[in-house]
Amino acid sequence: MLADFVKREDFKKEKHVPVIEAPTKVRKNTPFEVKVTVGKEIPHPNTTEHHIRWIKVFFHPEGDPYVYEIGGYEFNAHGESVQGPNTGAVYTEPIVVTVVKLNESGKIIALSYCNIHGLWENSLDVVVEE
């Protein structure tokens, strides 16, 4: 199972677990911002050889048997260049900001993928008020 490979605890020198920043209480059907960052406290290297390739954000409503994908975000510039690794003009940072509306309470789930260290997950409970 894929779940057997998902990690939830960081290494001491590198941060891989996605950090979710969003309100824990929101009003029903009212837009709010969700920010997901990998390497918020200790930056992830994000080099040609070692980088975050993508972040996916999901929502699991309480009591629902299904999880809904909010969005998938790819990071494609890691300093690659014809001159060699880490000589390119652009590097992406693994930070995602999106706006969502919820009609039910549940859990926002973020999943990130490091090309060296694999899959990482975090979640945040959100209560929807009338």
60 catalytic? Reply is: no
- Which of the residue ranges 1-10, 18-27, 58-67, 103-112 would you say has the lowest mean pLDDT? 1-10
Beta-carbon contacts of 112 under 8 Å, excluding residues fewer than 6 positions away, are 16, 17, 18, 36, 38, 52, 54, 55, 56, 94, 119, 120, 121
Nearest-CA neighbor of 125 among 39, 28, 23, 48?
23
Identify the active-site residue in 51, 56, 78, 114: 114
pLDDT computed for residue 2 by the predictor: 80
In the prediction, which pLDDT does 12 show? 62
Task: Write out pLDDT tens, residues 82-93.
Answer: 999 999 999 999
What is the domain extent for residue 106? 2-129
pLDDT band at residue 3, thresholds of 50, 70 and 90? confident
Is 51 marked active-site?
no
Q: What distance, in Å, lies between the first and last C-alpha atoms of the chain? A: 38
- When divided into structural domains, the chain yields a total of 1
**CATH number where 21 lies:** 2.60.40.730
Position 107: which residue type?
K
- Give the mean pLDDT of the chain: 94
Among residues 50, 60, 93, 107, which one is catalytic? 50
Alpha-carbon Rg for the chain, nearest whole angstrom, is 16
State the CB neighbour count (10 A cutoff) for residue 109.
Answer: 20
- Give the largest CA-CA distance in the chain: 57
What are the pLDDT digits (tens) for 46-89? Answer: 999 999 999 999 999 999 999 999 999 999 999 999 999 999 99
